[in-house]
Amino acid sequence: MPNKLNDLIAELALANRILGHEGVLDAFGHVSVRHPGDPGRYFLPRSRSPALIEPADILEFTLDSEPIKPPKVHMYAERVIHGCIYQARPDVVAVCHHHAPAIMPFAIAGKPIVPVFHLGAAGGEDMPFWDQHDEFGDTNLLVVKPEEGRSLARALSQYSAVLMNRHGATVVGSTIKELVSRSIFMCQNAEYQLRALMLGTPQQLHHGEVELAGAISRMPNVVTRTWEYWSARAEPASVSRRSAKSARPVSRAARKRKKRR
């Protein structure tokens, strides 16, 4: 478990950096993952710009969003979003809250994002809205109280994402990689839908198309392929170093040492 846990934490840090590079996250927004050995805990970075997150920035929390160890760093104010969703949805393994420019027009106008191209099916056929003001009146729009997090989780229900009126969106996934692809494809879909509105009425995918195309987006080979692509875009220098190292010719002395082992 320790090695697997370290790998998961490194993957979570990379997910933050990928979503920062792809424009889903900016200085704000955050990604978390449920503890693989203890479903009553989850991992979330300290309060820092997502594009800079490293494994050392990852903190561990209970589902009440209380840190396991007293932190010496600032924590995200909206971490209850993650804890409350994990409490309500045992099937959810990863959560992303963001304010991507692509989805904000829909969150502001209260208009639904519907799948309009095949990869857009990753977000599902329907996406509910949650308006914080309906239940809590005037707030600063941050989701910081447990009752606010529970309300958001109820609005999410069994869907893959929920739009938050005048605020942003929250997306869930069964793995970190699925969450990352769903978050990015959802933003791409929103961009295409908005552009299509300039030409007329967008034609959304049929019900059967959403199911079939959505299943393809979750296939392991597709998830791996997109993860590799986004990783290379987010960290071209490190990828180039790894590629150069693997392509470096092995000396005769090194080959002899390897044979003697």
> Where in the sequence numbering do the catalytic residues fall?
78
238, exposed or middle or buried, with CB in 10 Å at 0-12, 13-18, 19+?
Answer: exposed
CB under 8 Å to 82, separation ≥6 — which residues?
30, 32, 42, 44, 61, 65, 95, 97
CB 175 within 8 A of CB 87: no
Handedness of CA 21, 23, 29, 30 (dihedral sign): negative
What's the rounded Cα separation, in Å, for the pair 29 and 43?
Answer: 15
CB 123 within 8 A of CB 191: no
Q: Which residues partner with 164 through β-bridges?
A: 130, 168
- Residue 182 is encoded by which pair of tokens? 């769903």
Q: Angle at Cα 133 formed by Cα 128 and Cα 136, nearest 5°?
A: 115
What's the rounded Cα separation, in Å, for the pair 102 and 100?
Answer: 5
- Residue 43 is encoded by which pair of tokens? 């991992």
What's the rounded Cα separation, in Å, for the pair 130 and 147?
Answer: 14
Q: Which residues partner with 30 through β-bridges?
A: 97
CB under 8 Å to 30, separation ≥6 — which residues?
16, 44, 45, 50, 76, 78, 79, 82, 96, 97
